[in-house]
Structure formats: structure tokens, C-alpha cells
Structure 1
Amino acid sequence: MNLLIVVRKFVLFGLLVAVVLAKPRVAVGEEKGFEPLLGDNAPQLWRGYAKEGWPVGWELENGVLARVAGGGDIMTVEEYADFELRLDWKISPGGNSGIIYRISTGDEQPYYSGMEYQVLDDEKHSNGKNLLTSAGSLYDLYARSEAATTKVGDWNEARIVVRGNKIEHWLNGKKVVACEIGSDDWNSRLAKSKFATWPKFAKNRQGHISLQDHGNLVWYRNIRIKRLCEKK
């Protein structure tokens, strides 16, 4: 092969690689259909559970929402029915928190009505010894299918997809929970759980989303949500 042709192909390949590497990452909030929940208007999008206004103990700085002191759970002002929620979370050593969705107000705790995506340090917290209550699980009902957390102190990427009665939990790019409210499997698990006698649990077709104050340091960032239309 002609040496000049080889050189030209090599240069062209190098330019192509440079263009790909230089391509900017899609910014949070620019993903099609997603609404950012930690932008400049975050104080208008969140409130304390059973409280008015921004709760004490939660701080927002440089796009990172942190639970730094006791103040109770924080929740979205708006309610969501079918949605895809994406966010990053980071937990302190031995820490525990959760993302609770389709919650209603008026109860002592958000988890009396909503389902929980567990946020946890699996290694140092006792809940990590039980797969039903480990990070990424649908708390006390569906264990995550595999371990996928990063080391404590690093960020984890979470996705929660809720469409009608179908639920998916994702952890660092892996689908770790898939279930359906009202299915035989769901009903069997529910009957054996602590939620069996809770009249409001998992009954809402829409509700707020709450981040749990469980008494530990926890950080959230890049929170965004996409409203979905239920497939007929």
C-alpha cells in the first residue's frame, strides 16, 4: 500500500478519535424530557415532609443536596405518577438513607405509603447483611439481584422507573430489581412483610418523592425526573 495513503488514513483516524473525545457530555437537565430538580429553583421544588418550606438539616451547595443534621425527610412539592428518576447518591460510612416514591402526606412517615429504594453502606450497616434491605433493593420486599455499589465515599448512580404497576430499580447501570405491584409474587411477598397491615402502603397511583433523613450524612446530586405516559 502506498505510504502516503497509510499516513492519510492514520491522520484521519486520529482526527476522528479527537472529535469523539471532545464531544461534550449532555448536561443534566438537557436529557430529552428530563426536568432537573436541583437547579436554581430547587427551594421551590422541595419542602420538608409534613412541614412547610425547606427543612432544617438539608443543605444545597454547588448542585449537591446533603443531609448534614437532623431535620426530617425532604420531599418534592409536586406529585408524580409514572416517571423515570435519575440521580447520584453517596453515603457516609455505616450510613443509611432511602429514596421513597409515590408517597402521600398526612402520615407519620413517608414509608407508610411509599416504596423505598434503599441507600446504604452495605459493608458497615447491619441492613447490608440482608439482601432484602441492601443498597438498591425495594426495601424489605425485593432483594437486589447483584451487588453493584461503589466503595463508600464514591458516587453511585441510581435510576427508578415506575410505569403503572411496574417498577424497576437500577444501580450503576445494572437493573437490580424488577417487579409488579399486585402480581401474585408481589402479593405473596407483601403478605409476609411488615407492610402487610399498613392500609396505605403502595396504594397510590401518584405521589411525592422523598429523600430520607435516617440520622446519617448522605449526599445527592444530578437529580432529574422524566414523566412517562402509561402504555396501554
Structure 2
Amino acid sequence: MNKRILALPTCLSLSFFSFFTDPQPVNQLSAQEKKEGWKLLFDGKTIKGWHLYNQGQKASVWKVQSGELQCQPNTPGSTLEHGDLVTDQEFKNFDLKFDWKISKEGNSGVFINVVEKKENPTAWTSGPEYQLLEPSHYDYKADPKKRAGCLYGFAPQKNEAVTKPVGQWNHSEIKQINGKIEFYLNGVLTAQQNLNSSEWKQMIQQSNFRNYPNFSKATKGRIGLQDWMKGIAFRNIKVKEL
């Protein structure tokens, strides 16, 4: 396990979310975390502090159940709104930690530096993505740049990290200081990039993201959770501004 180097769609049964339990206290901050400046972005009971990207406060496929923030995009007969969920607050220099579990063949992501504008039709056209992927998904073998923990579409895992089996919780961390980012998956450094560098700008121009003129133009913005065809759940979402 690497030490940190920076100081700074099929229908998913709802039983996926309810079958696995964890006896440890969740969605809470310890006294030490509070002293260090950590804040919860999810209180375990409501979606307070979040809204649908470019849609505001609407009833959606994002639900709170059993202390988990769940995306249930395939609920039979549902007419609820779909869309990525983003924070009301914007962040620039931060340390973000969260737990996640995903359905079989699931595909999702966490976006950073999201700038919410009508000309940016989705969160991913604005902010870079920390990829979340279940290993049985087609993309796992087809494209190593799309595995969990990757800076989606740009580079394979910097160090190999193992994703937990379906229904078990993974732990992830995203750090950003002055545009320099680090991604961790289950304690392993999986991505590292300077979003202000000429190298990064060249990488964008060599990718499909070059078709979205506002992609990664900002190093400050909202944090987003992706709604993408299959179920995913989050908990213990906490942030410390640096």
C-alpha cells in the first residue's frame, strides 16, 4: 500500500442497498475530526446541501435510505427526475473523503470543480471525474483509463488498487491544492495531476473532452455525484477546506 506523498443498465433491486449493514457509527465526525476542521457533506438523513445539476431542488432518483445517499435510477415505474447531484457549496483547496458501494456492472463517478451553467449541459462537461466502476463492467478490461480511482479517460491507475466486491464499502479520497490533485482508492494513490499545467491542457486536446470548451477551465467549483444507469450508494462524505 502506497504512503501518501502530499502534505497538503439492468434493473437494480433495492435489496442491493439494504442487504449489507455495517455496525460502526456512520455519517458522524469524531471530536478530533471536528477539531481538525472536517465537515459532513451528508448528514445521513436528508439531501440538505445538495441539488440536481442545473435543475435545483427537485424530487429525484437520489434518496436517503438506511443512512446512505443512494442513486436508484432503475426504480420500476418511477417518473422521478434524473441527473447528477451537486453540492450547494463550491470548493477550491480541499480534502474530500467518502465511502461508496456499487451495483454489479455499475458505473458512476465523483466530479470536482463543477461550474454550474446552462452552457455546460452536464456536470462531466465541466469538471474532471474520479471514476467509480465495478470490475465486471465492460470498461474495466476494455479501457484501463476508466477503472475505479482513475482520473476518468486520461490515465490508468498510478498504482494498482483493488475494488471491494459488490455490496462492500470502498473508501476514496480526493485532494486538491491550487489545482494539484491526488486521488486515493482504499488507501492507494491512483491518480495525480496538475490541472494548471500545459501537460494537462494537451491531454484534454488529445481527448474527447476537447469538444467541451468549458471542461476543466476552473480549479474551484461544486462536487458532483453521477447518476449513470445503475445504482450506487455513498456515506461518510466529509470535507476539510485546506
| Paired residue secondary structure (1:187) | helix
Following superposition, the deviation at residue 189 of structure 1 comes to 2.1
Alpha-carbon distance in structure 1 between the residues aligned to 2:130 and 2:27: 25
Q: Helix, strand or coil: the match of 1:43?
A: coil
1:111 corresponding residue in structure 2: 124
Partner of 1:59: 63
Matched, 1:160 2:174: yes
Q: Deviations over 1:103-162 (max 9, x none)?
A: 01122110111010001112x212212111111100011221213211222110000001
Among the aligned pairs, what percent are the same residue?
33
Matched, 1:126 2:138: yes
Q: Which amino acid aligns with 2:138?
A: S
User: Paired residue for 1:69?
Assistant: 73
Does the aligned pair in 1 maintain the 2:195–2:219 contact within 8 Å? Answer: no
Say whether the 8 Å CA contact 1:43–1:54 is kept in structure 2.
no
Q: Contact between 1:48 and 1:55, CA under 8 Å: does it hold in 2?
A: no
Q: 1:45 aligns with which of 38, 46, 49?
A: 49
1:196 partnered with 2:210: yes
Unaligned runs of 5+ in 1: 1-23
Higher helix share: 1
3-state SS, counterpart of residue 190 of structure 1:
helix
Q: Are the aligned partners of 2:44 and 2:235 in contact in 1 as well (CA < 8 Å)? A: no
Partners of 1:127 and 1:82 in 2: CA distance: 31
User: How far apart in 1 are the matches of 2:25 and 2:92?
Assistant: 29
**Superposition TM-score, scaled by structure 1 size:** 0.82
Q: 2:183 aligns with which of 169, 172, 189?
A: 169
Aligned in 2, Cα 1:112/1:56: closer, same or farther, shift over 3 Å? same
Offset from partner CA, 1:9-28 (integer Å, 9 cap, x none): xxxxxxxxxxxxxxx99973
The 8 Å contact of residues 27 and 237 in structure 2, kept in 1 or not, is answered as no
CA deviations on 1:72-108 (whole Å, 9 max, x unpaired) are 1111011111111100010100011100111011221
| 2:26–2:236 contact (8 Å) kept in structure 1 | no
Q: Unpaired segments of 5 or more residues in structure 2? A: 1-23, 75-81
Rg bigger for which structure? 1
SS at match of 1:189: helix
Q: Which amino acid aligns with 1:191?
A: Q
Deviation at 1:185, TM superposition (A): 3.3
Q: Does 1:36 align with 2:48?
A: no
Contact kept in structure 2, 1:81 and 1:205, CA below 8 Å = yes
2:52 maps to a residue whose letter is G
Distance change >3 Å, CA 40–CA 169, structure 1 → 2:
closer
Contact preservation (8 Å) 1:28, 1:224: no
Q: Over the residues paired in the alignment, what is the CA RMSD in angstroms?
A: 2.0
